[in-house]
Amino acid sequence: MEKNHSTSSGEWEKMKKEINELMTEGRDYAHQFGSASSQETREHLAKKILESYHKSLTIMNYSGELDQVSHGGGSPKSDDSDQEPLAIKSSKKSMPRWTSKVRIAPGTGIDRTLDDGFCWRKYGQKDILGAKFPRGYYRCTYRKSQGCEATRQVQRSDENQMLIEISYRGIHFFLITHPQVNSQVATGVRERNCVWGGSIPGLDQQGDPSNQTRTTRPPPCGYRGIHSCSQAANVGTTMPIQNLETNQTQEHENHDIMKESLGNYNHQAHLHHNLHYPLSSTPNLENNNAYMLQLRDHNTEFFGSTSFSSDLGTNINYNFPASGSASHSTSNSPSTVPLESPFESFDPNHPYGGFGGFYS
């Protein structure tokens, strides 16, 4: 792991400590897992283990971003000439960018467009040189109200008609979701006018009426984790939890789950995932039991070319409408859309959970 140079040593020590604790915790859970008798326990433990890993990794990655956003106390001297708060200052370039390829799977539902759990508003479309299909530009619906700088670009692949490339910017792929989710679940706040998707450039005319795509779980809009576009309703709802209902070799499965999930932390591109995340189904949400996660059985095959794309296993299905019209919805996800964070016990106040004041 590369520690960032500009991370202040104090900060780093803190992180190290945190990571250490988390990993230790994870190890303990893993030990317990081995001797766990009941399935429930195992699920619970597996979840805990994943949490630990997830948190640790998040912290580690977070530390990696510190140099881009010099933070208070760390390096007071910024070479930037402007005095704008660094947290807000985010040059496009320094924004993280995630790209994922979304496959359009024929023969499935059509009602939802690019439902990645976040609210996007289309603000442009452009023909790209050399590309057959135009590129769609989306920004976070809550850009104005909450200052979320998240954007995404959607473009249909030239070669493979069944592929759609989506790139996200200004989004933290990890962690941020949960505080958001939690807070939303807690309050039940739903904002209006959440737009899921918009038309898919290039899909409009020739789109297979029964298109469905799947992708890695896209990132939450990551402005300090406050941002509420990632409706709790969506986040975690369409997680393709395969095999959840096929509760056969569950034990074995749990191992696989962990293995896979942990493997996803591998910071390499082009991971092929088949994430199962039955763990998140345990509906023991602290804040509000009303929101239970009902998992839909999805055949999950998707690929993400992003490092953390599937870190939470919260992958989401993308459904494309047959027509180009955007499917927008105010608050309702399709049918049964329960809310829950895959990390119900995740602490929103986790020091690194909110990225308070930071924006990459």
324 sits near DNA (criterion: CB under 7 A): yes
Cβ burial 160-186 (10 Å sphere, 16+ → b, else e): ebbbbbbbbbbbbbbbbbbbbbbbbbe
Q: Least distance from C-beta 230 to DNA, angstroms?
A: 15
100 sits near DNA (criterion: CB under 7 A): no
Instruction: Specify which residues 124 forms β-bridges with.
Output: 137
Tell me the C-alpha distance between 31 and 45, whole Å. 9
> Among 153, 238, 280, 306, which residue interacts with DNA (rule: CB under 7 A)?
153
123 sits near DNA (criterion: CB under 7 A): yes
Write the interaction track for DNA spanning residues 216-255; mark x where CB under 7 A is met and - where it is not.
----------------------------------------
How many residues belong to the site for DNA (CB under 7 A)? 29
Q: How far is CA 52 from the centre of its chain?
A: 17
From 53-61, 158-166, 196-204, 271-279, span contacting DNA (CB under 7 A)? 196-204
Q: Least distance from C-beta 158 to DNA, angstroms?
A: 12
> Among 41, 187, 193, 336, which residue interacts with DNA (rule: CB under 7 A)?
193
Give, as one character, the DSSP assignment of residue 35. Answer: H
Q: Least distance from C-beta 135 to DNA, angstroms?
A: 6
Tell me the C-alpha distance between 16 and 33, whole Å. 25
Q: Least distance from C-beta 49 to DNA, angstroms?
A: 38
118 sits near DNA (criterion: CB under 7 A): no
Tell me the C-alpha distance between 218 and 119, whole Å. 11
Q: Least distance from C-beta 153 to DNA, angstroms?
A: 6
- Contact criterion met (CB below 8 Å) for 48 and 29: yes
CA distances from 173 to 220, 251, 275 (A): 6, 29, 16
Pairing of strands 151-156, 316-320: unpaired
> Among 42, 54, 103, 135, which residue interacts with DNA (rule: CB under 7 A)?
135
* Burial (CB count within 10 angstroms: exposed 0-12, middle 13-18, buried 19+), residue 72: exposed
Cβ burial 123-150 (10 Å sphere, 16+ → b, else e): eebeeeeeeebbbbbbbbbbbeebbbbb
137 sits near DNA (criterion: CB under 7 A): yes
Q: What share of the chain is helix, strand, coil (3-state, %, to 5)?
A: 25, 15, 60
Of 80-99, which residues contact DNA (CB under 7 A)? 92
Q: Least distance from C-beta 112 to DNA, angstroms?
A: 12
> Among 125, 146, 282, 294, which residue interacts with DNA (rule: CB under 7 A)?
125
Of 254-313, which residues contact DNA (CB under 7 A)? none
Q: For binding to DNA (CB under 7 A), which residues are involved?
A: 92, 120-130, 135-137, 139, 141, 151, 153, 192-193, 195, 197-199, 324-326, 328
